[in-house]
Amino acid sequence: MADTAASPFAPSPAWYHLAPGSLVRGFGLLVIAAALGVQLDGVLEEGYISLIFVMAITIIGALYGLGVALVCAAVGALGFDYFIGEPKWELSFSRPNDITTPLIFTFSAMISGVLSGRLKDEARQVSQRNIQLEALLEASRGLQRASSVHEVTLALHDSVEAQTGIAVALHAVFQAPGEPEAGASALAHDALASGRDWVEEGSLSAFPLATAQQTLGVLLARRPEGTSLDHDFALALARITALALERIHLADQLAEAHAIARAEELKSALLSSVSHDLRSPLTAINTAAASLLSYGEHFDPETSQGLLSGIVEESDRLNHLTTNLLQMTRLEGGPGGLSRSVLPAVEMIRNVIARQMRVDEGHQFHIHAPDGEVPIIADATLYDLVLTNVIQNACRYSAPGTSVEILCRAKGTMCEIAISDEGVGVPPEEQENVFERFYRVARGDGAPRGTGLGLAIARGFVKASSGTIHLSSPLRDGKGTCITICLPIARSEPEQNAL
């Protein structure tokens, strides 16, 4: 807070005010003038010596104001008559000069005192305006950078309160944090209801934050005790604050509109992307089931078994697709939706490979675990799904008979899981895009195609688990892809207590 005693926002003391300190200093100057006059008496004529008193009274008025100058003029007139005027060493007002001298002294005191007061008032006003302009400029810069109501409040505090000592706060602003002090709320509501530029009650003033379209709230300003508030300055501050809040409000609305548009775009992309993937298994299931119902008694056991197997496979495919969609939606809700627990990383890899081997007998799987079992912290459902997606991709895009290598080892505080295949690989220019939702690498006709969600889910899961994921391709002879996932290792209880 600014020093009230030295603040240019403190009202000027009345120029006739008799401050004790100023009065003592004025008497001191008068004594010096009287002593000088006594010493020069006999050397200079009486009229010249009176000029010494006039000069002293003029200086007193310029320094200490009209009140002190008038008192010193009266005392000086008595002193001049007693020490200098004839007859000396006695007070006498029998001559015309005895009346003229006090009048001249009083006139000099009035002129110098009034001019001094005006100059001090003008200097104070100039200083106040300079501080106000600096505060407005600093506030404008801070408000331009502000992107929230909280940042607007900080900008006002750093610029206005720090320089002028005027405490400011926002009330009834959209998304405004906190509650105003007692009594401020009622004054703010009065300001909103009155339709006036400001409402004042004691040291607290309220200024509506009005724009061309709406009133966004109220700026509350509390001046320090013993100071005055320049309402023109406060109104200018309220206007630039209202513009900043309007900009933030419009930016929020624009961001919300973009989010809605993005959601609609995502919804359209989702429907467009998965419609074929949903339709294909449903069509196959429907066809196989209809054939069995209509002609099942004419089919040999091998044909019937093939149709039933097809129904099971397509059902599994449909279930896998819907699981991916549900887990993708879950990840978009943020890390708070994950259920973390300690999981055996190697054991769960073995379980996923065992399931994959039941439907894929053409690939060879090799697990390398040089550190044995590695406990990790992760969501069990998503970890299983990510392993399934990555291993299925490795099998889908590599030829039957090739190998899929899985390495699981501890690396510092992380568990590194690297899944490598001997497939066609991913072109360098598309390696970043494969982690985007619904993105599929362009391949030749007849090439297998996924849903475009597997690696997107993997990246979302790893990010939410405070891990990393990386793709390397090609590996050897222009072929092969390696997906490397790093997840936090579960610490033992002594290690956790040591942190």
pLDDT digits (tens, 9 = 90+) for 255-264: 888 877 766 7
d(CA 134, CA 59): 34
Q: Is 246 exposed, middle or buried (0-12, 13-18, 19+ CB in 10 A)?
A: middle
Q: In 3D, which of 169, 185, 167, 159 has the Cα closest to residue 224?
A: 167
pLDDT of the residue at 15? 47
Average pLDDT, the chain: 76
d(CA 489, CA 424): 32
Identify the top-confidence range among 70-74, 269-273, 483-487: 483-487
pLDDT for residue 498 is more than 60? no
pLDDT of the residue at 1? 37
For tokens 């093939």, name the residue.
306
Confidence of residue 420 (pLDDT cuts 50, 70, 90): very high
Distances (CA, A) of 315 to 88, 276, 283, 391, 403: 129, 15, 11, 19, 27
Q: Which of 105-119, 122-136, 207-221, 288-302 is least confident? A: 105-119
Side-chain-side CA neighbours of residue 462 (13 Å): 23
Confidence of residue 11 (pLDDT cuts 50, 70, 90): very low
Q: In 3D, which of 409, 348, 350 has the Cα closest to residue 374?
A: 409
DSSP 212: S
pLDDT for residue 497 is more than 70? no
CB 450 within 8 A of CB 393: yes
DSSP 436: S
pLDDT of the residue at 473? 83
Q: Is 378 exposed, middle or buried (0-12, 13-18, 19+ CB in 10 A)?
A: buried
Task: Report pLDDT digits (tens) over 333-360.
Answer: 555 556 788 999 999 999 989 888 877 7
Element (H, E) at 300: none
Q: At a CB cut-off of 8 Å and minimum separation 6, what does 305 contact?
A: none
Element (H, E) at 132: helix 96-145
Domains annotated for the chain, with CATH where assigned, are 20-126 (no CATH), 147-253 (3.30.450.40), 256-330 (1.10.287.130), 335-440+450-498 (3.30.565.10)
Q: Is 34 exposed, middle or buried (0-12, 13-18, 19+ CB in 10 A)?
A: buried
pLDDT of the residue at 328? 59
Mean pLDDT of all residues in 395-400:
86
Q: Token digits for 161?
A: 């309160």
For tokens 């002879």, name the residue.
477
What DSSP line would sit under 31-100, residue for residue? HHHHHHHHHHBTTB-HHHHHHHHHHHHHHHHHHH-HHHHHHHHHHHHHHHHHHTSSSTTS----SHHHHH
Cis peptide before 87 (omega within 30 of 0): yes
Distances (CA, A) of 458 to 191, 382, 430: 55, 8, 17
Task: Report pLDDT digits (tens) over 183-228.
Answer: 456 777 777 677 777 777 777 888 888 777 777 778 888 877 767 7
pLDDT of the residue at 443? 57
Confidence of residue 96 (pLDDT cuts 50, 70, 90): low
Q: b/e per residue, 345-363, with b = 16+ CB within 10 A?
A: bbebbeebbeebeeebeeb
DSSP 229: -
Q: pTM surpassing 0.95? A: no
SS3 of the chain: helix, strand, coil, percent, to 5: 60, 15, 25
Angle CA(438)–CA(441)–CA(446) in degrees, nearest 5? Answer: 105
Q: What percent of the chain has pLDDT over 70?
A: 76
d(CA 246, CA 346): 55
Pairing of strands 403-411, 414-420: antiparallel
Mean pLDDT of all residues in 54-77:
78
pLDDT of the residue at 414? 93
Identify the top-confidence range among 7-16, 308-317, 320-329, 340-349: 340-349
Q: Which of 77-81, 110-114, 126-130, 357-361 is least confident? A: 110-114
3-state secondary structure of 371: coil
Mean pLDDT of all residues in 114-138:
77
pLDDT for residue 138 is more than 80? yes
Angle CA(95)–CA(100)–CA(106) in degrees, nearest 5? Answer: 145
Cis peptide before 335 (omega within 30 of 0): no
* Main-chain phi, psi angles of 188, to 5 degrees: -65, -40
Q: Token digits for 298?
A: 């004419």
Q: In 3D, which of 382, 380, 389 has the Cα closest to residue 355?
A: 389
Please give the single-letter amino acid code of residue 316: D
